[in-house]
Amino acid sequence: MVRCLWLGILLRGADAYTARKPSIAGKSVYFLVTDRFARSGANKENYTYCDLATSADPLQPGGGAWCNGTLQGVIDQLDYIQGMAFDCVWITPVVKALDYTGYFGEDFFDVDPHIGSKETLKELSRQLHARDMCLIIDIVANHVRQMTVQPDYSPGAIKTYIGPKGINPFDKDEYFHTYGKAAGTSFEAYVMAGVAQASQSQGSDAVLTERVHEGITESWRVEGRHSKCSKDCGPENMNLTECNCFPGNFAPDCPGANEELQVQGWFGQLADLNQDHPFVRQKLLDYVKYLVEEYDADAFRLDTAIYMKKDFLKDLQEAAGVDILGETTVNNISYHASFQKAGLSGLLNFPAFYQVHGSFCQYHLGGDLGNYHLQGAFTPALPDLRKLASVMQFQNPEVRSMERPAARWPLFSSLLERAVYPNLDLLGNFADNHDEFARIGTLEWPNEEFIAFGGYYCDADSYRIKNALALMMFARGIPIVYYGTEQGLDGHQANVLEKDAMRKQGVEDKGQAFVRESLWQTRYNTSTWQYQYIKMLNEKRKELGLAKGEIWVFINNNQNWTGQSPFLYCPAPSEHEAWYDVFSEERAYLRKGCFMADNAEPKVLVRRVRMPAVYAVERISEQVWILSPGAEARAVPTRIRHRTAGSSLGS
């Protein structure tokens, strides 16, 4: 039996900063990669698919892998975005940069000419505000562009040193971290010899791996699942939700973890800024102020947030005066929350994200041991919503589990004492993004010519995708939908098995570019089921936004082949009151403490008397039900089917 009840309440910490603009708490966000979203001008009618231009070398003609999407293209498609009823648009960094992503900045106070001009950015901001929408700009304060260039990313490619010259305003060696540099060694020599890497700051997995191999968790095994997690790690442990070392996990679980290296190490050749240098610190604070004052930015998404010191993040938040959503790629929940406590007003909800794939789909990105460095190792573990429920229970102090009614928290301590996060309404919830492995719509057999191993994410399964989207949209916080979801784009990065096959066949591994594919080839079709479904979710969410009454959200991970059958959820709202499904507007069938849904689509129940329509989302008071299929389906036995090596197996 798998049942989890989530209850959301509003908890607000003291204002973390002096707000200059309204908070984006609870707004819904459409996230796009500017270079891949929409072309304009002479290129506007060019609908040719693009995911990686020929040369990654920024010094070569055509280098930087640009596909020619622009800010003007975004302006031209605002009807398309607003047509799905989003509140905000998050765009990738606008700085002059070495490549299409904008994450390799060269001039912080300019707009890259590939995507437009300062005037175009101002116009985008104006037009969004005219629509009562908001602009979220992606920023990078951790690093600048690389200090070397190379013709391609093959192992033997020859690097050429270019140094910091020409970077505005960080054009001197002294502005960068040089962890481990020997006295007397020049900056150039340090760079060319291979700099200390931030990726080496994580501790060794050996201890956890040993523990996992020694014993499989009783509680998860009892359910007949195959998840291998020791009792000291896995979703049952707030600070080790995966049996794998991530930033924030220190000794004894992850011996060798090095927080100083985490802050000072570089990402490859991307030069790591020293925010303790007075000039660097001041210019970065000036930079965020500039973006708010010059472009009227409403909020920021802050790249690589965990690789900077918290006292700097606090200063950056104060200087910005608008919400910052930090990219906090960790699975340790209290460590994750510590970045909000320390100063950033908002965080991208990575601890929950890491559980989405394994919860909804027949796919665990990190393999059996939650090792995300494997970039998507297939595991036969069945999808299990308890993983996600467990993480969200830790995050939301008022969550109660029907499996464990007393919850895991010490009783009687006050809610505020138990609150891990100062503000849950500024957690950005998402099911996929531009960095991680696979889009939610990824097909089961994406690359038949490469590999015969199956099982990708949600298999383009509409029931699972709808349920995952509904959860993102109705969970406490800021729902973020990645561009292309509405068109069923299905890019995914090559996993370890595919990489091997591709290497043998001489096929180019495009890495993250696989999940940053162009959108224009879809012609911005507004009649796809995904577009219409996202539109409906956003509209219903807004309509319910200020409702004071209870909202029950029922989520499951059924597949299409069982999704059309009636589905029973227990418990449910009282049958002595009139509850309606907000999507169908039909009265819910409630009997004996259970809700009989007519199919496995997500259901959102509200009590009528009909709620008044509202137009601003400040909070969502939700009760979310998660039920794993097969667990409680008394009326209609349902089973999860999973696939291994191309065959369908009942389980």
Q: Which segment (265-273, 278-286, 407-415, 637-645) binds Ca ion by CB under 5 A?
A: 265-273
For Ca ion, the closer of residues 142 and 328 by Cβ is 142
Q: Chain-centre distance of CA 526, in angstroms?
A: 24
Taking the complex as a whole, how short is the minimal distance between the CB of residue 142 and Ca ion, in angstroms?
5
For Ca ion, the closer of residues 275 and 429 by Cβ is 275
**Alpha-helical runs (H) found in 414-528:** 415-418, 462-474, 496-505
Distance CA 374, CA 384 (A): 21
Taking the complex as a whole, how short is the minimal distance between the CB of residue 638 and Ca ion, in angstroms?
48
Task: Please list the residues that pair with 88 across neighbouring strands.
Answer: 29, 134
> How many separate helices (H) and strands (E) can be counted in the chain?
18, 24
CB 330 within 8 A of CB 246: yes
For Ca ion, the closer of residues 125 and 142 by Cβ is 142
For Ca ion, the closer of residues 343 and 629 by Cβ is 343
Q: Which segment (292-300, 306-314, 459-467, 618-626) binds Ca ion by CB under 5 A?
A: 306-314
> In this structure, what are the phi and psi dihedrals at residue 393, rounded to the nearest 5 degrees?
-65, -40
Distance CA 211, CA 245 (A): 13
Taking the complex as a whole, how short is the minimal distance between the CB of residue 308 and Ca ion, in angstroms?
5
Residue 195 tokens, joined: 């700099």
Is 329 among the residues that bind Ca ion (CB under 5 A)?
no
Q: Which segment (139-147, 353-361, 455-463, 523-531) binds Ca ion by CB under 5 A?
A: 139-147
For Ca ion, the closer of residues 120 and 142 by Cβ is 142
For Ca ion, the closer of residues 307 and 354 by Cβ is 307
For Ca ion, the closer of residues 54 and 282 by Cβ is 282
For Ca ion, the closer of residues 307 and 531 by Cβ is 307
Fill in the per-residue mask, 196 to 225: x = in contact with Ca ion (CB under 5 A), - = not in contact: ------------------------------
For Ca ion, the closer of residues 40 and 178 by Cβ is 178
Taking the complex as a whole, how short is the minimal distance between the CB of residue 35 and Ca ion, in angstroms?
25
Taking the complex as a whole, how short is the minimal distance between the CB of residue 270 and Ca ion, in angstroms?
9
Taking the complex as a whole, how short is the minimal distance between the CB of residue 143 and Ca ion, in angstroms?
7
Is 307 among the residues that bind Ca ion (CB under 5 A)?
yes
> In this structure, what are the phi and psi dihedrals at residue 161, rounded to the nearest 5 degrees?
-75, 130
> In this structure, what are the phi and psi dihedrals at residue 345, rounded to the nearest 5 degrees?
-75, -30
- The DSSP result for 346-386, as a single string, is EEE-HHHHHHHHHHHSS--TBTTTT-GGGSSB---PPP-HH
Q: Of 184, 163, 169, give the one whose Cα is nearest residue 271.
A: 163
Taking the complex as a whole, how short is the minimal distance between the CB of residue 263 and Ca ion, in angstroms?
5
For Ca ion, the closer of residues 307 and 483 by Cβ is 307
Distances (CA, A) of 372 to 329, 366, 558: 11, 4, 25
**Alpha-helical runs (H) found in 396-480:** 415-418, 462-474
Percentage helix, strand, coil for the chain under 3-state DSSP, each rounded to 5: 30, 15, 55
Which residues in 10-39 contact Ca ion (CB under 5 A)? none
Q: Which segment (307-315, 387-395, 422-430, 603-611) binds Ca ion by CB under 5 A?
A: 307-315
Taking the complex as a whole, how short is the minimal distance between the CB of residue 137 and Ca ion, in angstroms?
20
Size of residue set near Ca ion by CB under 5 A: 3
Residue whose beta carbon is closest to Ca ion: 307
Question: What one-letter code names the amino acid at 364?
Answer: H
For Ca ion, the closer of residues 265 and 367 by Cβ is 265
Q: Which segment (159-167, 301-309, 382-390, 420-428) binds Ca ion by CB under 5 A?
A: 301-309
Number of CB atoms found within 10 A of residue 648's CB:
10
Taking the complex as a whole, how short is the minimal distance between the CB of residue 502 and Ca ion, in angstroms?
32
Taking the complex as a whole, how short is the minimal distance between the CB of residue 332 and Ca ion, in angstroms?
19
Per CB under 5 A, the list member of 272, 298, 432, 498 interacting with Ca ion is: 272
Q: Of 378, 362, 353, give the one whose Cα is nearest residue 639.
A: 362
Taking the complex as a whole, how short is the minimal distance between the CB of residue 329 and Ca ion, in angstroms?
13
Per CB under 5 A, the list member of 40, 120, 142, 538 interacting with Ca ion is: 142
**At 314, which helix (H) or strand (E)?**
helix 310-320
Distance CA 115, CA 112 (A): 6
Contacting residues toward Ca ion, per CB under 5 A: 142, 272, 307
